[in-house]
C-alpha cells in the first residue's frame, strides 16, 4: 500500500458518508483521522445531530458489520446507564454446571468498532474499566488477559463514544485524566446553514429506512491496520512543523507563556503533543503528501486539544455572564489555542 492508496480510499469513505450524512464533512474527516492515527474519539453534541449515525455508517463502510466470530464482533453498541457494571462491558466468568467449571463470557468490548452511547451516564467505575481497556487494548477476565487488538491479523480496536454536553442530571462527567485517553473530542453542532438543513430533509423525505442502510463496503478491515502502518512509516515531519507543534504545546502552559494564564490554568501535556503529531501525519496522508506541514497541524488542532486544556474559571464566568452559557468552555479553548499557536508561528517565522 502507498500513500496515494490511503488518499484515494479515504476520499471514497468520506464521499460515501456525505451521501448519507449531510453537512458534517469536517467531522467525518476528523473521525477517519482519529481511526487512522490509532486513537479513539469522543463525539459531543446535543441529541439528533447524527453522532450515532456516523458510527454506524463508518462500520458499514469499513466492512466490519458482517464480522461475527467466536471471539470478536465487527460492531458493538453499549447504551450507558447508571446501573451498567464493568462486567457488562468487558465480560465475566460464568459457571458451567454441565462441565463443573468456570468459563469466560466475553462482553461487547470484544469488537472492531465499539459505539459507547452517552458515556457520561455510566458510573465512574464502569467508565474507568472502559477507558483502561481503550488505553491498554486488553481486558482481564478471571486470571487471563485478552488482547483487543491483533495488528498481524488486521484486528483493530476503535472506540467512538458520545455524550450530551447540555443535560447534566443523572450524569457522571469524565475527569480530565480520562478525557485525555481520547485522541479527539469532536464537537458536533447543528448544520451550519439553511441549505444543509433542507438537504437533510430532502434526503429523508421519501424513505422510511435510514440513508446509512444504503451504504456498502468500501474497504476491508485489514485496510485500516495497513494504512496505519504506512502512515507511521512513510509520513515524515518537517522541522518547521515539529518546531511549530513543540512551541505551540508549550505556549498553552501558563508557567511557560504568561499571557495564556488569562484563559487557562492548565495547558497541554506531552501526550497531547504526540496526539497532535499523529493526527497531523494522517491529515498529510489524506492530502496525498508524504510530509507534515504546519497547515496539517492547524487542521486537527481544535479536536485534538479542546478537551486537554483546563479553562480559567474567571474567564468562563465572564463569558457566561455575557450570555455564552453552553459554548463558553469551547470558546475559551479555541481562543487559547489561537493565542498559543499564533505566537509560535511568529516565533519561528511561519
pLDDT in tens, 219-259: 999 999 999 999 999 999 989 999 999 999 999 999 999 99
Which pLDDT band holds residue 32 (cuts at 50, 70, 90)? Answer: very high
Which pLDDT belongs to residue 157?
95
Gap between the Cα atoms of 20 and 18, Å rounded: 5
Which pLDDT band holds residue 193 (cuts at 50, 70, 90)? Answer: confident
Q: Judge contact between 38 and 226, C-beta under 8 A.
A: no
Which pLDDT belongs to residue 143?
84
Which pLDDT belongs to residue 204?
85
Residue 328 pLDDT > 90: no
Q: Judge contact between 237 and 281, C-beta under 8 A.
A: yes
Residues forming CATH 1.10.8.80 domain(s) in the chain: 235-348
**Domain 235-348, architecture per CATH:** Orthogonal Bundle (1.10)
Residue 61 pLDDT > 90: yes
The domain made up of 3-219 is a member of CATH 3.40.50.880 = no
Rounded (10°) angle between helices 3-20 and 51-61: 130
Mean pLDDT lowest among 27-41, 163-177, 238-252, 332-346: 163-177
- Provide the 8-state DSSP code for 293: -
Closest by CA position to 28, among listed 5, 49, 3, 6:
49
In sequence order, what E strands does the chain have?
A: 41-44, 73-79, 91-96, 101-106, 111-117, 138-141, 144-147, 158-163, 184-187, 236-237, 264-266, 291-292, 310-311
Closest by CA position to 224, among listed 62, 52, 45:
62
Residue 28 pLDDT > 90: yes
- Give the tens place of pLDDT for each residue, 66-95: 887 788 889 999 999 999 999 999 999 888
Cβ neighbours, 10 Å, residue 61 = 23
Please state the rounded mean pLDDT for residues 46-68.
Answer: 90
Residues forming CATH 3.40.50.300 domain(s) in the chain: 3-219
Amino acid at each position: 500500500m502507498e500513500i496515494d492508496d490511503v488518499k484515494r480510499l479515504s476520499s471514497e469513505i468520506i464521499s460515501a458518508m456525505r451521501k448519507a450524512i449531510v453537512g458534517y464533512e469536517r467531522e467525518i474527516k476528523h473521525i477517519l483521522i482519529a481511526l487512522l492515527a490509532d486513537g479513539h474519539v469522543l463525539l459531543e453534541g446535543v441529541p439528533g445531530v447524527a453522532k450515532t449515525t456516523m458510527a454506524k455508517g463508518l462500520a458499514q463502510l469499513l466492512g466490519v458489520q458482517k464480522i461475527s466470530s467466536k471471539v470478536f464482533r465487527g460492531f458493538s453498541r453499549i447504551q450507558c446507564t447508571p446501573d451498567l457494571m464493568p462486567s457488562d462491558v468487558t465480560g465475566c466468568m460464568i459457571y458451567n454446571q454441565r462441565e463443573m467449571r468456570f468459563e469466560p463470557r466475553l462482553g461487547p468490548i470484544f469488537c472492531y468498532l465499539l459505539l459507547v452511547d452517552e458515556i457520561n451516564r455510566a458510573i465512574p467505575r464502569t467508565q474507568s474499566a472502559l477507558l483502561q481497556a481503550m488505553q491498554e487494548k486488553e481486558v482481564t477476565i478471571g486470571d487471563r488477559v485478552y488482547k483487543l487488538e491483533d495488528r498481524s491479523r488486521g484486528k483493530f480496536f476503535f472506540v467512538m463514544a458520545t455524550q450530551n454536553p447540555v443535560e447534566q442530571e443523572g450524569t457522571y462527567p469524565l475527569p480530565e485524566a480520562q478525557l485525555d485517553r481520547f485522541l479527539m473530542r469532536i464537537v458536533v453542532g447543528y448544520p451550519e446553514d439553511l441549505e444543509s438543513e433542507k438537504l437533510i430533509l430532502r434526503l429523508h423525505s421519501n424513505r422510511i429506512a435510514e440513508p446509512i442502510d444504503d451504504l456498502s463496503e468500501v474497504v476491508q478491515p485489514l485496510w485500516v491496520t495497513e494504512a496505519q502502518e504506512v502512515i507511521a512509516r512513510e509520513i515524515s515531519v518537517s522541522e518547521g512543523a515539529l518546531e511549530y507543534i513543540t512551541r505551540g504545546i508549550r505556549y498553552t502552559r501558563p508557567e511557560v507563556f504568561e499571557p495564556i494564564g488569562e484563559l487557562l490554568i492548565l495547558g497541554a501535556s506531552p501526550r497531547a503533543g504526540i496526539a497532535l503529531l499523529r493526527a497531523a501525519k494522517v491529515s498529510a496522508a489524506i492530502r496525498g503528501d508524504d510530509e507534515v506541514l504546519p497547515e496539517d497541524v492547524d487542521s486537527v488542532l481544535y479536536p485534538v486539544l479542546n478537551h486537554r486544556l483546563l479553562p480559567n474559571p474567571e474567564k468562563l464566568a465572564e463569558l457566561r455572564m455575557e450570555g455564552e452559557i453552553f459554548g463558553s468552555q469551547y470558546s475559551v479553548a479555541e481562543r487559547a489555542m489561537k493565542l498559543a499557536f499564533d505566537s509560535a508561528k511568529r516565533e519561528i517565522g511561519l
